[in-house]
A and B are shown apart, each in its own frame.
Chain A
Amino acid sequence: QKEVEQDPGPLSVPEGAIVSLNCTYSNSAFQYFMWYRQYSRKGPELLMYTYSSGNKEDGRFTAQVDKSSKYISLFIRDSQPSDSATYLCAMSGNAGGTSYGKLTFGQGTILTVHP
Chain B
Amino acid sequence: GAVVSQHPSWVICKSGTSVKIECRSLDFQATTMFWYRQFPKQSLMLMATSNEGSKATYEQGVEKDKFLINHASLTLSTLTVTSAHPEDSSFYICSAQPVPGLAGYEQYFGPGTRLTVT
Residues of A within 8 A of B (CB): 8, 32, 34, 36, 41-46, 49, 51, 88, 92, 95, 98, 100-108
Q: Is the CB of B105 within 8 A of A101?
A: yes
Q: A36-B109, A49-B106 are in contact. Are A41 and B43 (CB under 8 A)?
A: no
Binding site secondary structure of chain B:
strand
Q: Is the CB of A105 within 8 A of B49?
A: no
Bound state CA distance, A32 and B106, in angstroms? 9
Q: A41-B91, A41-B112, A41-B114 are in contact. Are A95 and B43 (CB under 8 A)?
A: no
Most chain A beta-carbon neighbours within 10 Å: one of B4, B43, B45, B105: B43
Residues of B within 8 A of A (CB): 4, 6, 32, 34, 41-46, 49, 57, 91, 93, 95, 97, 100, 104-112, 114
Binding site secondary structure of chain A:
loop
Bound state CA distance, A42 and B93, in angstroms? 9
Q: Chain B residues near A45: list those with CB within 8 A.
A: 109
Q: Chain B residues near A34: list those with CB within 8 A.
A: 106
Name the contact of B57 in the complex, choosing from A51, A98, A106 (C-beta under 8 A): A98
Bound state CA distance, A64 and B25, in angstroms? 30
Q: Is the CB of B32 within 8 A of A43?
A: no
Bound state CA distance, A70 and B113, in angstroms? 33
Q: A44-B93, A102-B46 are in contact. Are A95 and B111 (CB under 8 A)?
A: no
Q: Is the CB of B34 within 8 A of A105?
A: no
Q: Chain A residues near B112: list those with CB within 8 A.
A: 41-43
Given contacts A43-B112, A51-B105, 5 further A-B contacts (CB under 8 A): A32-B105, A43-B111, A101-B49, A103-B107, A107-B43
The 10 closest A-B pairs by CB, nearest first: A43-B109, A105-B43, A43-B111, A44-B109, A107-B43, A43-B112, A32-B105, A105-B44, A101-B97, A43-B110
Task: Name the residue on B nearest A8 (C-beta).
Answer: B41
Q: Chain A residues near B6: list those with CB within 8 A.
A: 43
Q: Chain A residues near B106: list those with CB within 8 A.
A: 34, 46, 49
Q: A95-B100, A98-B57, A101-B34 are in contact. Are A88 and B114 (CB under 8 A)?
A: no
